[in-house]
Amino acid sequence: MGKSIFNVLFLCTGNSARSILAEAILGCEGEGRFNACSAGSQPLGEVNPHALELLKSLDYRIDNFRSKSWDEFDRKDAPKMDFIFTVCGNAAKEVCPVWPGHPASAHWGVPDPAAVTGGEKEKRQAFQNTYRLMHARITEFINLPLDKLDNLSLQQALENIGQLSQTAHESS
């Protein structure tokens, strides 16, 4: 994979929380090497306010995030994806578009922080946990020796990253 900038798409059903967090993290941590995008199979039309609040508190620029359909990345003028990661179980089970170029893909499932019930403290904690897990996975991903891995080794590495557990990184 001797490419200078890789296009990465994070997919979820609603594209309002998990995939947005992943897009933000990779966009920052992988700047210059990765072009991060996110989309949903059934976008909610707005980004979850808790996701935006958390990103803003961590000094991310939040003005360009929006909930959008994966159809935007299935058009002829869309960037060709090199990697596609599903971050929710529903999106992983859905029939996805056929992506041009056969990008490497893996399922990096994360519990939906937007589904957490309770007070504001519990909801904020759920978003923080999701952020930490996605950050740990993305850190592993951007540190892969992409130019040295064959397709089979790359696929195995991507699947292994998706198995990183939340509890192992909550104290990070």
Q: Which of 11, 12, 26, 54 is catalytic?
A: 12
Q: Does residue 28 have an active-site annotation?
A: no
Cβ contacts of 78 within 8 Å, gap of 6 or more: 72
CA distance 19 to 68: 11
Q: Does residue 37 have an active-site annotation?
A: no
Q: Which of 1, 44, 78, 96 is catalytic?
A: 96
- Show the tokens assigned to 12: 């979820």
Q: Which of 9, 26, 84, 88 is catalytic?
A: 88
What are phi and psi for residue 36, nearest 5 degrees? -95, 135
CA–CA distances in Å: residue 119 to residues 95, 110, 122, 125: 35, 21, 5, 10
- Show the tokens assigned to 17: 């929380």
CA distance 144 to 119: 38
Catalytic residues: 12, 88, 96
